[in-house]
Amino acid sequence: MNTEEIKRLLEKYYNAESSDEEELKLRMFFSQEDVPEDFREVKEIFRYYLQVSDIPEPSANFEKKIISAINAEYPGTEKAKSRRLFFLLTGIAAGLLILTGSYFFFLFKAEPRDTFSDPDIAYAEAMKILYDVSSRLNHGTQALEPILKMQDFTKKSFNNINKSTSIIEEKLKSLDHFRKAMEIININNKSQTNNN
């Protein structure tokens, strides 16, 4: 087989598109001793596949034999199974108990009722509570007054800094005009010196 055909078969093999005949051709090719240097790594892979294919398949009751051997070696596993079953059943029972309790709680839940029969007394109580909340809220905001003063001071400081910055920018503009004038003078002086 030439290398192009091998590459084509390998590509089909890696894409799981190869037939049994093509895979047999690849196995036969890579079982040879004189394989081109480009395919040495692939040869090792196919050699591994050939070795693995020699391992027999396990018998039908292989899993049962393993489990019985484990149970014979560690006899506490049966207790562990019954313990897991116990915890599973108690968990289910607890879940059902919670659901039943929730159902009866919501079923017989008492509706809120008025505590005052006279609307004027209810209004007076509501106003009393609102005044209390208002006074506590005002008391809490009084602690924030120093922060508000600091915020005002910070605004004034930034305004002053912005004014100073604008003054400096204006002065720099006039210096920029002076610098440009000096460059023009230097260019004129150089051109006069070069002409002489």
Identify the residue with better confidence: 5 or 98: 98
Q: How far is CA 43 from the centre of its chain?
A: 42
pLDDT digits 0-9 by tens, 123-160: 888 899 999 998 888 887 787 788 888 888 888 888 88
Note whether 170 and 164 are within 8 A (CB). no
Interior angle at CA 40, CA 52 and CA 24, nearest 5: 50
Note whether 12 and 18 are within 8 A (CB). yes
Give the list of residues 6+ apart from residue 33 with CB closer than 8 angstroms, or none.
none
Residue 145 token pair: 């007054």
How far is it, in rounded angstroms, from Cα 193 to Cα 196?
A: 5
The model's pTM is: 0.29
pLDDT, residue 96, reads: 95
pLDDT digits 0-9 by tens, 11-62: 888 888 888 888 888 888 888 878 887 788 888 887 777 776 666 677 788 8
Three-state secondary structure call for residue 33: coil
pLDDT reading at 90 higher than 90 = yes
Query: What is the residue extent of each domain of the chain?
Result: 1-77, 116-196
pLDDT digits 0-9 by tens, 109-118: 766 666 777 8
pLDDT reading at 99 higher than 90 = yes
